[in-house]
Amino acid sequence: MARVTKTSITIGVMNENADKPMDTVVALIVAAQHAAGNIDVTEKIAAGAYRWCVNKGVATGLIPVKTKTVRAPKEKVVKVKTKKEAVAKVKAEKPVETKSPEEIERIKAANLARIKEVAKKFKKEKEVEVEENYEQPLDSFAAPAFLTRREVEILV
């Protein structure tokens, strides 16, 4: 007596149902395998076995041809504006105030005066700092590596 295997069951079911479509035969193969005690056979495994038998010429059957679906061309998606773009647009929509040349010169003069004031204050602080450092008696034998102009004036 011939040995009953999973492959022999699949081939037997396929030959008996050669005129039926693949989906129907795969379901019959699964049912026959489960009836024989092979409960680990799923539809995916049975479909693979069906394809293998047809490709090798062991059993008769038809494998449906897969048709490629043609994708529709992608439409351009309009970008949603980010927060920065929205803020930039709002800023661009504000009317720009044009100032007269006299007003621009007045603003420049005020800014220059403010810069000079800060520079004077900074120089005074620097001079006080340098003078504080040289209040101690200097050692006449020690030669410094670098002196600023103000330090030379203090020494002389």
Q: What is the pLDDT of residues 105-153, one digit of tens each?
A: 999 999 999 999 988 888 877 776 666 655 555 566 666 667 778 777 8
- Could you identify the residue written with the tokens 């040995």? 3
71 in a structural domain = no
49 in a structural domain = yes
Q: What is the pLDDT of residue 78?
A: 60
138 in a structural domain = yes
65 in a structural domain = no
Q: What are phi and psi of 138, to 5 degrees?
A: -85, 140
pTM score of the predicted model: 0.43
142 in a structural domain = yes
Q: Which domain holds residue 141?
A: 100-155
Instruction: Please state the domain count of the chain.
Output: 2
Q: What is the pLDDT of residue 123?
A: 81
**Above 70 in pLDDT, residue 86?**
no
